[in-house]
Structure 1
Amino acid sequence: MYEMNGILGVSGLSFLLVTLFTPLLIWGLRTLKLTQPIRTELPPDHQAKRGTPLMAGLILLIGVAMSLQFQPAPLTVFLCSTFLLFSLIGFMDDFKKAAWQDPSGISGRMKLVFQFLFTGALLYVLFHSFSLTSDIRLFNGFHLQLPVSVYVIIMLLFIVGSANAINFTDGLDGLLINVAIPTYFFFFLISDKPEVQMFSLVMIGCLLGLLLYNIYPARAFMGDTGSLAIGGSLSFLAVIEKVEILIPLLFIIYLAEQLSVILQVWYYKRTKLRLFRMAPIHFHFSLKYGWSENKIVMIFGFVSWFMALLCWVLAKYVM
């Protein structure tokens, strides 16, 4: 088990390794012509991103390796397995996009099937190997006890839904990284589990390293390989730490992105008109109000930091 100085050191080492090796990964992806296809309906400044290397999220596997190396406990193995399984789904999607230059990737149905299968298996492991309980922690020490079957169904929908909501957020240069870092930091702050502290801080180190190459103008995109892995791991961290009740606040940016897509589809089917200029909602701010990518990323990141700190206060003093 590592003390706090050790965890900080491993996080710093992860940042350094990602910073050093990402250029090599970018070179390899460009050499193999595994680049991002761009949807024709995206704004003109996005069309210039055609040919940017995709799947740079593979570099985040350094975080998995570092966590396992320096904190080889069962819970660390579980967290890393969660990250890897969701990353695998994203990799399959990214590879089809890049190799065939097909922006649609694998079918949404196939992705959902894999996500539900992996999530169900991981929840089974949580219940049988880590004594997960079927209650939801409320405020002032109260708990809502649910039948196991009901809890599992709710968590299946929550984890898969949240993972995809987080995936939707990866639409602008540096956006998901700037929004995800505060979320990981929240779990680092509230957890009394060294494995969660290590994993969260190592992921922050890796994301900061990748941000150097993903910030506008991005030299590489993490793709679903990275964004789905981030989504899956953050969602499971919420279940492990029993802060499901805080998710509407903690995940507010991710949920807003997902809700904008749902509302857009629903409204268009009813009226044949668009509620937003484009969904997810970060594109709406760009197209309707002319906000630059950097402005959107800065504002969304600020909201994420504010909500993460608010949720920390609620978790520490109210729950």
Structure 2
Amino acid sequence: MEITIEALAGGDRAVLARAITLIESKRPDRRAAARRLIEAAMPLTGRAVRVGITGVPGVGKSTTIDALGAGLTAKGHRVAVLAVDPSSSRTGGSILGDKTRMARLAADPAAFVRPSPTSGTLGGVAARTRETMLLCEAAGFDVILVETVGVGQSETAVADLTDFFLVLMLPGAGDELQGIKKGILELADMIAVNKAEGEGRPRALAAAAEYRAALHILTPASPAWSPPVVTVSGLTGEGLDDLWERILDHRRRLDATGEIAAKRRAQDIRWMWALVDERLRERLTGDAAVRARMGAIEASVRAGAASPSAAADEIAALIGL
């Protein structure tokens, strides 16, 4: 049965889950229904606060998101968490354990947690994360939190999906600061040093000072916003109210200058080209004869019988390019 936009807009989480499963399907007969649903959902989107959250494994992303989300639902918000789960490059499988790591939100009727495998997608963001985000907004969720893998190109990918990019850091800057990619600092709208509780608080405060000094030498992405550095504890919830108020302050400032709207239009352009790339790849992999020929071309390159350039030309010719 095709899911109607009326059913989705009713806010039922079961309907939303089925809608997301529909758009994630690779079956050709479901693709048309998925496109119709996304087109119908578009007028209902755009009002939510979209926050991307990244950080190295072990920094406490899930714990922090669970505490932040629970605090927001207690204030009357409806929170959707899109937690991207890394797929195995060997088996294609993924753990999808985010609901066990976000126990409060998983049991909260005002929250929706959707773990999604990356399925090898470059950037650590699931192939349909953008569409999933739009469906959540159409279903009435006014806060969208996108948790990334925190490796490779995931930071850039999630920045292309969201309005606000939060980078979680561990306390104890020191040598850690030397290993931070400049690109992450340039993307960050805020840095939050996590685990600032108990004996770890002095180390977190020292780390925050180091990160402030590092940000000071960079030119902010927006003249209306200088990325702050805060300390938080995902475990106790300390500092999370202040963190959220700063996110809302960022939204107010950039809404006033028109930067949020401009950023979303630029994201739509990148989304369009990503879909074009996807359609081209589908044409290459959707036909058995083409797949067989591609295998032969790969074997030729591997054997040194053909150059990569010549092989690329031959593959492009298979789809009429």
Task: Please tell me the TM-score bracket, short chain as reference.
Answer: under 0.3
With a CA cutoff of 8 Å and minimum separation of 6, indicate the structure with the bigger relative contact order.
Answer: 1
Larger Rg: 2
- Which has more strand, going by share of residues? 2
Q: Which has the higher helix share?
A: 1
- TM-score (norm: length of structure 2): 0.26
